[in-house]
A and B are shown apart, each in its own frame.
Chain A
Amino acid sequence: MVKRSILVLSATALVVAAIAAYVVLYLTNVPGTAQAAQSSQGAHLYLATVAAAELSDPHPTWVSYYVTNSQDQNWQHDTTFTVPANTLVHVTIFQFDGDSGLRNNFLSQVQGTVGGTMQLNGKTVQTINPDDAAHIFAIPALGVSIPLQGVSSNAKNPCGNAPCSMSMAHNTVTFTFRTGAKGLYRWQCFVPCGAGTVFDFGGPMQTVGYMDGFLKVV
């Protein structure tokens, strides 16, 4: 009788441990959240896009977004950003990756920002050459879509793996959009940059933590 109970209980313990491992190690293993910095003009978000994640990452060959700060320091591999509701959000993206080209050239135009424009290396622009796009930062539910100019292929000192420093070849894109009601929104890249997969849209393009993430409007 005791032997049976030991068997049943140890089998149950094994099952519970397996389920716990499944849930904790795999299912809820999601990237962290980054808060946007606050100022009198609204919220500020500093992001970076790179050709390859850091060497210690599970996918060191995958393109990825990172969260950084105004001096391009303190890189964190988060793709959930928290911003306040009904506020102007000023976003700066340090773009370190080479170009891949757009699939849908419609997205070569800046959409959903204040003024319908963005600042590319200080210059105000409305569109970029579709073939020069490296990535896009888009929040479809808010109508926001920003094409990010790629680093030229013969640029000096391109960045390899994250983190990248300002001295490496990059383009700086800034834009402002306004958040509305509270809620959970998702953002994604639209440029086929998941190299090695069909349509270049697999791998990092489909994985939260690389080219996809969430926007928590609180």
Chain B
Amino acid sequence: MAKILITDASHPLVAELAELLRKDGHEVFVNEDDITTRDGIKALVAKVGTPDMLILSEYHNLRATLTEGEANVIAETMDHNILSAFFACKHFGSLMAEKGEGTILYLSSVFADKASGANPAYSISCGAMQMMMKELALFYGNQGVRVNMVKLAPSAKEDETFDSDIVQAFYDVERKAPVKGRVEARDALGAVEYFLSPAARLVNGSDLKIDGGLLYFYHDRIYPVEKEADM
């Protein structure tokens, strides 16, 4: 069974995901501290050592639009996620590379590809971490460490975080996605177990969408579904 470190306890699915992983027999650490400082990351390294899997669940977010929000606060929120992921990958990635094996998984969001309209600080950081993931897939891949990303559709716990009159992601998830439904921890669990398994030995630099096909569906959301049925 694997030693797994999850970097940000504030992600809404992480507590349940950690429990499910423990039930599967894994040793799971869930970080609750700020690791964007030298002392913070050193303390976590001392506590955890070398994990078999690093799950980056950075989830600092801020409901603030680009038209009305405060730029510095948005930038700081965005930076927190990016820097936290950078420090975790630099320190734990190096430890895994020394060992010659391991896997890094970004627990990201469809908002790495899709504008949120409500939480640009989070989506911009997801976009940044998507390129960080690809870069590290090159760098760590030839040292035995695979790096990948999962992009989750919004869960039922995220209405307040992402609801937007422009994008309406929740309407999209429930009405537009070909396979409808809110993402749950068990959906993320399946991805984690897959990326840990030998079946994923050549999977590196990939992004796995767990969104029911949402990102490929873009028809007008206000098309009247009821009338559609009458036609």
Q: Do A and B bind each other?
A: no
Residues of B at under 8 Å CB distance from A? none
Residues of A at under 8 Å CB distance from B? none
